[in-house]
Amino acid sequence: MQLSTRNQLKGTIADVDLGSVMATVKVRLDGGDQVVTSSITKDAAIDLGLKAGQPATVFIKATEVTIGVD
């Protein structure tokens, strides 16, 4: 599969919390302790078979990216 999304972060699913309509999925990124959290539909999480410990790729498509420094 090829995607136009350039921001692709590999990691491992740390947690999947299924709500009544939406699911919260936490992905721990490879090489560190950073976690990205995504809200997707519950149906999508079930259809994808998402579960903790499973490898996953986070795709980020945004029109604005903010950078901060100390």
Of 36, 45, 47, which Cα lies nearest the Cα of 16?
45
Q: What order of strands is seen across the sheet that includes strand 22-29? A: 35-41, 22-29, 7-18, 55-60
Q: The pTM is what? A: 0.86
Question: 54 near 11, Cβ under 8 Å?
Answer: no
Percent of the chain scoring above 70 in pLDDT: 100
pLDDT surpassing 90 at residue 49:
yes
Q: What is the pLDDT of residue 21?
A: 98
Give the CATH architecture of domain 5-55. Beta Barrel (2.40)
